[in-house]
Amino acid sequence: MESLYVQGRKLEAKDLEWIRELIEAHRDWNRTKLSEHIAQNWEWRKEVGRLKDMACRTMLLKLEQKGLVCLPARQRLQ
């Protein structure tokens, strides 16, 4: 696989594999927990220092739409 650019991030095959392994290892995590963990691990932050967890969540959704990852089911608020 060549490099893939999603949400302004360059992703290599090793990045996608790490994300897949993370999802598999933490089946109890929701999408928010995944995106926060990934953003923190990559030090993906806004200029003011806050994590770009929403950008990360959008990236994960785009990867799922391309069939590259399988995210946990969305949780519904009651």
Q: pLDDT of 8-41, one tens digit each?
A: 899 999 999 999 999 999 999 999 999 999 999 9
Q: What is the pTM (predicted TM-score) of this model?
A: 0.89
Q: How many domains does the chain have?
A: 1
Rounded Cα gap, residues 61 and 58, in angstroms: 5
Q: Does the residue 78 lie in any domain?
A: no
Q: Does the residue 35 lie in any domain?
A: yes
Residue 43: name the closest of 55, 34, 52 by CA: 52
* Full domain range(s) for residue 42: 4-65
Residue 13: name the closest of 1, 27, 25 by CA: 1
What values do phi and psi take at 77, rounded to 5?
-80, 140
What values do phi and psi take at 25, rounded to 5?
-75, -20
Task: Indicate if the pLDDT at residue 1 is higher than 80.
Answer: no
Q: Does the residue 75 lie in any domain?
A: no
- Which pLDDT does position 64 carry in this prediction? 97
Q: Does the residue 72 lie in any domain?
A: no
3-class state of residue 12 by DSSP = coil
